[in-house]
Amino acid sequence: MDQKMDKTYNPVLWEDQIYEKWEKSGYFNPDNLNLPENAPNYTMILPPPNITAKLHIGHSSVMAIEDLFIRYHRLCGYRTLWIPGTDHAAIATQNVVEKKILAEEKKTRHDLGREKFLEKVWEFLHETQAVILKQTRKMGASIDWSRTAFTLDEDRKRAVNKMFVDMYKEGIIYRGERIVNWCPRCQSTLADDEIEYQEQKASFYTFKYDQNFPIAISTTRPETKLGDTAIAVNPKDERYKKYIDQELSANFCGQELNLKIIADINVDMNFGTGALGVTPAHSMIDSQMAIKNNLKTIKVIDEEGNIKENFGKFSGQKVLVARKMIIEELQEKNLIIKEEEINNNLSTCYRCGTAIEPLPSKQWFVSVDTKIPRLGNKSLKEKAIEAGENKKIEFIPDRFTKRYLDWMTNLHDWCISRQIWFGHEIPVWYRGEEIYVGEEKPQGKDWKQDPDTLDTWFSSGMWTFSTLGWPDNFQNGKKLNDLQKFHPTQMLETGYELITLWISRMIMMSIFALDEIPFEKVYLHGMVLDKNGKKMSKSKRNGIDPLDMIEKFGTDSLRLALLLGNTPGNDLRMSEEKIAGYRNFINKLWNISRFIISKTNDFSDDFDPQKLSLSDKWILNKLNKTIKKTSLDLSAYKFSLSGEELREFTWNDLADWYLEANKFEKDEDNKNKVLLFILKNILKLWHPFIPFITETIWQQLGEKQMLIVSSWPQAQEVNFDSEEQSFNIIQEIIMSIRNARSEHRIEPGKKLQAIILSPRNKELLEQQSHLIKSLKTGINQIKIIGDKSEISAKKNIFITLADIEIYLIGGFDEEKEKIRRDKEIANLKKMIDSIENKLNNQNFVNKAPAELVAQEKEKLNNYKLELRKILN
RNA sequence: GGGCGCAUAGCUCAGUUGGCUAGAGCACUUCGUUUACACCGAAGGGGUCCAGGGUUCGAGUCCUUGUGCGCCCACCA
């Protein structure tokens, strides 16, 4: 790379070629890393993005965080593997494509037929997949493309089929009739977490089934009452006690009902009439009561949302029409006791917003409670809970462990069949009453495959091991090849909203297939919100397109904006201004490097430790501390904190102090080597955050090896703490002088003379006086004295720092100086008072740690000394 | 109804096991074009740490009650 380094960093010139170099090098693939056999693993899967749309800024955040983890561990010598892929997102994708063909061709999927429709889906999928992969590269993801997977590709299909058959054979998968959440529009069941509740006003009717019926009930859905088979009351309810266990009959709008009166403690005596009409076919809890009490189930509503046959005049009517008819009839017969408006949560389909009908239906389920002999006679639920409880799987932040455990504890069987076309076909065939479950279509004629497909989470639940070659790499209970090398993975990084949908399923499926956890740690990030704290959405037009931002500010700036200020489990606000702010930092780093590079001839960094100046030792000590702190925080996944530390070091210590000092010090050769040493170190430290610019600069340094595979810096053993303190004194003096000039409004060009009295540090200040003169203090003459008697100045500014006194000759304004002094005196008095109070408190002196008390005493002495100096 | 989180400078947020004279970035004020950088440099102003009560020598930090906001789960007959 022979490009010149411009005054400002232009990411567009560098980023693509850098990514190409990385990709060509093969280092994204752990097999090419030339590591010792015993190198530790660091494996992570990319949560496969849905192929429904191009990536948004939330995905960018995922990639920034995960790439940081991966690059950090690669530099630390781990065998790092990050597996890319995409998710077919069955229902979501089918919906997008359905909408698309409706808009473009005015056709429904039924017009096209299953085969044609699926062709359209695959067409769409190839387009979006290409865009997604391009965006991933743009983000700088150092991900192993050679292992790319798709939840619906051939390898995953085999894995899914094998899993289904294995689970069926062990009795974990079963077919059952259960109340499911049915969307009449999508013609599909929905999982609990695919339901959206919409608050609405609803009419809440209290009525009797007929004139002679002794008990009144309440409902918002009178039409379902056609299928009532019982009335439930609270066993403690005095009003109804006498009816319990009786069987009563009623004529409800022409329909004969046989109603058993049952007792159930879950019935709230104070709600409605305290009596509940039980409709086993169209309500979840009613169905449970029906199972408990052995009640008949009468189906009233069909899959289209119409009243079924054999309900007289209501048959064939839409649900809402039937409801109106029943209300009118009840009104005519004067059976309605009360009609009130209540707030009701309507269950709707998260895709299309249609009201959900709870319906009994034949579906495939994964049992979470069936004991599995092979797994110590424990159920999947029990094993998954165990993994969380004994911290085999650790959640970051920890509070989500509780949420995971709560959810797992209340988990019900998982309905895995979906009545849609796009997805994994269920490996089950029927012939009349016969049923065959197997990985391949059975021999013989007339077998018909189950028309349903599998819940998309069934395939993504296997992601940690299906991407590593399961089932081929699992023979006779033994893991082989990639599966053996990389499973369980070390880290799962994903959003907290996926704990229930995805994380819990991955844990159960990995336990079933391999009898081991899928990952050791789960890092949960929050959502990326707009600058007002609102969710980004297309309709609100408050979204930020990552590709636009990359174009404008570069990937590194975007990554910093996504990484700094981002803490686990908390949402992050994002704005263009923020990204622009980090662009400024990137440019600063660029210019720091430019300055350093311009001073060196041979890029050598082997400085002579004997020739180090005070400022050299100071910056090396700071670097040492930064390395330690940054490494510690990164290994604890506090990347935001370590980024802040790095920025502090880079901008405040290195640029503002060390580089400035460097301009005014001798022994250039050795100092330039120190500069190179520092630069190489910070490039490594920054690399996981901002890979492009660091690699770009690195390649200007004549290094043979790429930065991506260099090694994480180690802290030096030497300790320059006392030198650091000495340099701090110089810094304080310089800042005091600048401050005094500013307070006194001394013209910038005006040169002053300084006399500094410092009995303890005379020698130090003499040695460093060139810095005091040079670093933006406007001092042209300086005199360091160790004894007050040497002072002869008349008009001067007086600054005190513990036992140091500074006299600035010239530019003195008596009034301003008085104001300044009064302020300082007041402040000092306040401090002294507060410490004295503390020290007068016997409890403090006796109970606080001795070290702290001594510290306070020393502080007090210093303040007193300063005060005395000023008052003199 | 059950649970979780948040509340600190004008804004966005840090603040590890209690030791704080409460920090950073942005914004703001003043000054400065000095040969790495104006996407810059120097100096500065700005806070009852949501409110009440408690524990403690000491509370932004721990306990408790309340208020406001956000989220999750359940229920809504």
d(CA A409, C1' B74) / Å: 13
CA of A566: nearest nucleotide by C1' is B13
- Distance (Å, whole) CA A135 – CA A141: 9
d(CA A94, C1' B37) / Å: 52
- In the prediction, which pLDDT does A419 show? 83
Q: Which of residues 740-759 of A touch strand B (CB under 7 A)?
A: 742-743, 748
- Distance (Å, whole) CA A817 – CA A805: 15
Per-residue pLDDT for A863 more than 80?
yes
- Distance (Å, whole) CA A233 – CA A240: 7
Q: How confident is the model at residue A1 (pLDDT cuts 50, 70, 90)?
A: very low
d(CA A557, C1' B32) / Å: 28
d(CA A588, C1' B62) / Å: 42
CA A212 from chain center: how many Å?
61
Q: Could you read off the pLDDT of A450-503 as tens digits, one per residue?
A: 999 999 999 999 999 999 999 999 999 999 999 999 999 999 999 888 888 899
The type of residue at A149 is A
Closest to A485 (Cα-Cα) out of A26, A80, A64? A80
A218 CB less than 7 Å from any atom of strand B: yes
- In the prediction, which pLDDT does A869 show? 79
Question: 3-state DSSP: chain A helix, strand, coil percent, rounded to 5?
Answer: 45, 20, 35
d(CA A345, C1' B52) / Å: 36
Closest to A681 (Cα-Cα) out of A654, A660, A659, A663? A654
Instruction: Tell the burial category of A343 from Cβ atoms under 10 Å away from its Cβ (0-12, 13-18, 19+).
Output: exposed
d(CA A777, C1' B46) / Å: 26
Closest to A753 (Cα-Cα) out of A779, A718, A729, A787? A779
User: Are the C-beta atoms of residues A526 and A499 closer than 8 Å to each other?
Assistant: no
A587 CB less than 7 Å from any atom of strand B: yes
A460 CB less than 7 Å from any atom of strand B: no
User: Are the C-beta atoms of residues A753 and A782 closer than 8 Å to each other?
Assistant: yes
| Residue with the two structure tokens 């492009």 | A692
Instruction: Tell the burial category of A376 from Cβ atoms under 10 Å away from its Cβ (0-12, 13-18, 19+).
Output: exposed
β-sheet bridge partners, residue A348: A196, A355
DSSP secondary structure, A566-577, as one string? --TTS-EE--HH
Which pair of tokens denotes residue A129? 């997949």
A276 CB less than 7 Å from any atom of strand B: yes
CA of A270: nearest nucleotide by C1' is B77
Q: Which of residues 723-742 of A touch strand B (CB under 7 A)?
A: 735, 738-739, 742
Q: Which long-range contacts link A120-127 to residues 24+ away (Cβ below 8 Å)?
A: A121/A93, A121/A94, A121/A97, A121/A422, A124/A93, A124/A96, A124/A97, A124/A100, A125/A51, A125/A88, A125/A93
Q: What are phi and psi of A806, to 5 degrees?
A: -120, 130
- In the prediction, which pLDDT does A192 show? 66
β-sheet bridge partners, residue A262: A232
A217 CB less than 7 Å from any atom of strand B: yes
CA of A232: nearest nucleotide by C1' is B77
CA A48 from chain center: how many Å?
14
- In the prediction, which pLDDT does A176 show? 85
Per-residue pLDDT for A344 more than 60?
yes
In A93-239, beta strands by DSSP E: 149-150, 173-183, 188-190, 195-208, 216-219, 230-233
pTM of the predicted structure, to 2 decimals: 0.88
Mean pLDDT of A758-766: 92
A268 CB less than 7 Å from any atom of strand B: yes
Which pair of tokens denotes residue A548? 């636009």
- Distance (Å, whole) CA A620 – CA A825: 37
d(CA A569, C1' B61) / Å: 20
- Distance (Å, whole) CA A132 – CA A127: 9
- In the prediction, which pLDDT does A540 show? 66
Mean pLDDT of A586-615: 94
- In the prediction, which pLDDT does A733 show? 93
| Residue with the two structure tokens 């189930």 | A297
A530 CB less than 7 Å from any atom of strand B: no
Closest to A141 (Cα-Cα) out of A493, A582, A461? A493
DSSP secondary structure, A157-188, as one string? HHHHHHHHHHHHHTTSEEEEEEEEEEETTTTE
d(CA A752, C1' B34) / Å: 17
Which pair of tokens denotes residue A436? 């065959």
- In the prediction, which pLDDT does A190 show? 73
Helix (H, G, I), strand (E, B) or coil at A72: helix
Task: Provide the 8-state DSSP code for A470.
Answer: T
Q: Which of residues 369-408 of A touch strand B (CB under 7 A)?
A: 399, 402-403, 406-407
β-sheet bridge partners, residue A255: A252
- Nearest-CA residue relative to C1' of B2: A406
In which region does residue A286 sit, left (phi positive, over 0), alpha (psi from -120 to 50) or beta (all else)?
alpha
CA of A641: nearest nucleotide by C1' is B14
Cα dihedral across residues A207, A213, A215, A217: positive or negative: negative
Q: How confident is the model at residue A193 (pLDDT cuts 50, 70, 90)?
A: low
CA atoms within 13 A on the CB side of A561: 30
- Nearest-CA residue relative to C1' of B71: A497
d(CA A49, C1' B54) / Å: 50
- In the prediction, which pLDDT does A356 show? 82
Element (H, E) at A125: helix A114-138
Q: How confident is the model at residue A110 (pLDDT cuts 50, 70, 90)?
A: confident
CA of A527: nearest nucleotide by C1' is B71
SS3 sequence of A415-463: ECEECCCCCCECCEEEECCEEEECCCCCCCCCCEECCCEECHHHHHCCH
Mean pLDDT of A588-603: 94
Which pair of tokens denotes residue A870? 């000023």
d(CA A831, C1' B49) / Å: 20
- Give exposure, A200-226, as e/b (b: 16+ Cβ within 10 Å): eeeebbbbbbeeebebbbbbebbbbbb
User: Are the C-beta atoms of residues A546 and A139 closer than 8 Å to each other?
Assistant: yes
Which pair of tokens denotes residue A181? 């959440």
Q: Could you read off the pLDDT of A4-39 as tens digits, one per residue?
A: 789 999 999 999 999 999 999 999 999 999 999 999
Element (H, E) at A804: strand A804-809
d(CA A774, C1' B17) / Å: 44
Task: Provide the 8-state DSSP code for A501.
Answer: I
- Nearest-CA residue relative to C1' of B38: A584
CA angle A85, A88, A91 (to 5 degrees): 150
d(CA A87, C1' B15) / Å: 40
- Distance (Å, whole) CA A771 – CA A733: 10
Alpha helices in A295-352 (DSSP H): 319-332
- In the prediction, which pLDDT does A659 show? 95
A847 CB less than 7 Å from any atom of strand B: yes
Instruction: Tell the burial category of A303 from Cβ atoms under 10 Å away from its Cβ (0-12, 13-18, 19+).
Output: middle
- Distance (Å, whole) CA A320 – CA A408: 37
- In the prediction, which pLDDT does A351 show? 67
- Distance (Å, whole) CA A186 – CA A165: 27
A850 CB less than 7 Å from any atom of strand B: no
Task: Give A846's contacts (C-beta < 8 A, 6+ positions apart).
Answer: none
Per-residue pLDDT for A221 more than 60?
yes
Instruction: Tell the burial category of A650 from Cβ atoms under 10 Å away from its Cβ (0-12, 13-18, 19+).
Output: buried
- Distance (Å, whole) CA A274 – CA A239: 9
Q: What is the ipTM of this complex?
A: 0.93
Show which positions of strand B are touched by protein (CB under 7 A): 3-6, 12-15, 19, 21, 24-26, 30-34, 36-44, 56-58, 72-77
Q: Which of residues 110-139 of A touch strand B (CB under 7 A)?
A: none
Closest to A329 (Cα-Cα) out of A216, A207, A229? A207
Q: What are phi and psi of A502, to 5 degrees?
A: -120, -55
A219 CB less than 7 Å from any atom of strand B: yes
Q: How confident is the model at residue A342 (pLDDT cuts 50, 70, 90)?
A: confident
Higher local confidence (pLDDT), A472 or A797: A472
Q: What percent of chain A has pLDDT over 70?
A: 97
The type of residue at A65 is I
- In the prediction, which pLDDT does A790 show? 75
Per-residue pLDDT for A199 more than 70?
no
Q: Could you read off the pLDDT of A359-413 as tens digits, one per residue?
A: 888 889 999 999 999 999 999 999 999 999 888 999 988 888 888 988 898 888 8
Mean pLDDT of A826-847: 86
| CA-to-CA separations, A179 to A286, A363, A672, in angstroms, rounded | 10, 9, 75
| CA-to-CA separations, A135 to A60, A62, A141, A625, A662, in angstroms, rounded | 9, 12, 9, 37, 42
Mean pLDDT of A716-722: 89
CA of A273: nearest nucleotide by C1' is B77
A334 CB less than 7 Å from any atom of strand B: no
β-sheet bridge partners, residue A23: none
A267 CB less than 7 Å from any atom of strand B: yes
Q: Which of residues 228-247 of A touch strand B (CB under 7 A)?
A: 232
CA of A205: nearest nucleotide by C1' is B77
- Distance (Å, whole) CA A503 – CA A723: 51
A77 CB less than 7 Å from any atom of strand B: no
A627 CB less than 7 Å from any atom of strand B: no
Share the mean pLDDT of chain A.
89
d(CA A674, C1' B22) / Å: 36
Q: What are phi and psi of A441, to 5 degrees?
A: -60, 135
Q: What percent of chain A has pLDDT over 90?
A: 53
DSSP secondary structure, A595-660, as one string? HHHHH-SS------GGG--HHHHHHHHHHHHHHHHHHHHHHTT-HHHHHHHHHIIIIIIIIIIIIH
CA of A747: nearest nucleotide by C1' is B31
User: Are the C-beta atoms of residues A493 and A47 closer than 8 Å to each other?
Assistant: yes
